[in-house]
Amino acid sequence: MTKIDKILSYLDELFPNAECALNFENPYELLVAVILSAQCTDKRVNIVTKDLFSLADSPEKMLALGQDKLKEIIHPCGFFNTKSKAIIETSQDLIYRFNGQVPSTLEELTTLKGVGRKTANVVIANAFNGQTIAVDTHVHRVSKRLGLTTENSTPLKCEMDLLIVVPEDKRSKFHHQLILFGRNVCKAIKPKCDECQLKNICKFYKFANTNKNFKNYDKKGK
């Protein structure tokens, strides 16, 4: 069994039904929810979007709502000034450039104001059933620890490395599994190495056992 097969098998045992934790009914709602999720928990985003999407579930309704009201609603998500501006500008882009529809390609999504590669990949995977890997802090950290990407890799380099080793039909699920694994097992602080079945192939585990200041491992590439 190859290393990636062992990792995929273990993740399937731990998180067989891993999927997007954000609530949404259409691609636009998902796009907005992902923008709001930056530096915020999915649980809090879902609480906020329940009210937000009852008022504005399309670009047109979002512009009608206005940025001031939007800021008021999304205030609990943090960074509400920056996020409200991004949502309004993205909504304008969608209306004027894409007839109010969220595009389904990485090239088009990343031309939207406030939409980066990670956000675009999340939308492609979950709104359009694409097989992509969005690299967030958990995916990047765990991938480096397991040696799936180089220790000094950037998020883009990490994504490219993962696309090479992860089978295409498993990429989207793998992304969600790695997030859950990073949140619950391979944590940034006090990872549960002793109970992890991947520790024998984990570069971080070997490093932590020979270096007192093991946190330096995760700082590489930042």
pLDDT in tens, 182-200: 999 999 999 999 999 999 9
Q: What class has domain 135-219?
A: mainly alpha
| Confidence (pLDDT) at 212 | 55
- Extents of the domains making up the chain: 27-127, 135-219
Of 83, 136, 161, 218, which one is the catalytic site residue? Answer: 136
Burial class for 54, CB neighbours closer than 10 Å (0-12, 13-18, 19+): exposed
The rounded distance, in Å, linking the Cα atoms of 132 and 126 is 9
Is residue 136 part of the annotated active site? The answer reads yes
Q: What is the mean pLDDT of residues 126-153?
A: 96
Of the residues 83, 118, 173, 199, which is catalytic? Answer: 118
SS3 104: coil
CATH architecture of 27-127: Orthogonal Bundle (1.10)
What is the per-residue pLDDT for 1? 85
pLDDT at residue 61 tops 80? yes
Q: Tell me: the pLDDT tens digits for 99-133?
A: 999 999 999 999 998 899 999 999 999 999 999 99
Task: Specify the pLDDT at position 45.
Answer: 98
DSSP 153: -
Q: Could you tell me the CA-to-CA distances from 51 to 19, 21, 83, 162, 164 in Å, in that order? A: 23, 17, 16, 36, 40
Terminal alpha carbon distance of the chain: 32
Rg (CA), the chain: 19
Asked whether this chain's domains 27-127 and 135-219 adopt the same fold, the reply is no
Q: pLDDT category, 207, cuts 50, 70, 90?
A: confident
Amino acid identity at 111: T
Residue 219 confidence class, pLDDT cut points 50, 70, 90: low
State the Cα–Cα distance between residues 210 and 195, nearest whole angstrom.
19
| Distance, CA of 133 to CA of 170 (rounded, Å) | 10
Pairwise CA distance, residues 46 & 214, whole Å: 35
Known catalytic membership, residue 71: no
